[in-house]
Structure 1
Amino acid sequence: MNSLFDALPFLASYQPAIIVLAALSLTTLVQNLLTAPFSFNKEEQIPGMPLRFDHSKFSFRVLRTFSNSAESLPAFGWALLVAVAAGASPSLVNWLAGLHFASRMAFWLIYYIGVGKEAGGPRTMAFVGGLATNIVLAVTALWAAITVV
C-alpha cells in the first residue's frame, strides 16, 4: 500500500477536496510564518498582547488574516471529514471545497492589500463566500451522515 487512496479506493473521488484541505493548512502555516516579519519588526504590534486596532496598518491586517484562517480551518476540516466518511456526493464536496478555497484566497489577498471598506466591502464578500461554502459543506455532511443506510 502506497497511500490511503490505495487502501480505500472510494477516497480517490474526494482527492480534489483533500488537496484543498492540505493547501488551506499550508496557507495558514505560511500566514503564521508571515506574522513575525510583517507585524512585529516595526513594533506596531506586541507579541502576546491584544491587537492594536487599526485597519490602515498592514501589521493589523496580517495578524487578523492569520487569526481568521486559524479559526475557520478546523470547521472546514471537520465538515470535510464527515462528508467523506458519510459518503456525501464527491462532486458536490469537491466543488464546495474549491469554492471555499477560492473565497479564502480572495479574503487573504484583499485583506493584505487593504482595498475596500472595513465592513461590507470585497473582503466581507470573500469572507461570507467562504463561510457560506463551509455551512453548505457542513449541512451536506450532516445530511449524508443522517441518511446513510
Structure 2
Amino acid sequence: MQTWFQYLQGNFWLNALAIGLATAATAAFVVGLDALMGRAGLGLASAITLLIGNPLSGAAVPWQFLAEPWGAIGQHLVPGASNSLIRLLSYFPDAGTTTQWATLTAWAVGGIALIGVGALLRRGRPAPADTPQANEEPLAPGHAESAA
C-alpha cells in the first residue's frame, strides 16, 4: 500500500509495525475466543470484530461523525484503533498515537491470555470419545476395527 500504490505516507517500518500489530491483535482475539469457547467463540469474535467493530471504526467517515457514544466506543475495538493509528501515522505524523498503540497491544495481550486460559481448561478435560488418544494411531479410512 505504501511502496506500490503510494496510498500510505510516512515511515514505512512504522506503518508496517502498525499493520502487523493490528493483524496480531485481531488474530489473537479470534484464536483466543476459539480456544476458550470453541466454535461459539469464533462466532462471537466475528460478531465483535466484523459486525460491531467495523461499522464503529470510523474507516468510512471520521469517528466523530458517528452518533455519540458509538464513535468513541469504536475506537477501543481493534478495527477502530488500527484504522486511526494507520491514518495518524501516515497523514498526521506529529499527532499522538499512544492510545491506539496501547489499545491494540491490550487486544493482542488479551487474546494471548485467552489462548492460555483455553489451553489450561482443555488440559484438564478428557478427550472426546470419537478422537484418538495421544498414544493411539488413528485408523486409516475404510479400515474397520477388528473385534478380538
TM-score range, shorter chain: 0.3 to 0.5
TM-score normalised according to structure 1 size:
0.41
Q: Which has the larger Rg?
A: 2
Richer in helix (by share): 1
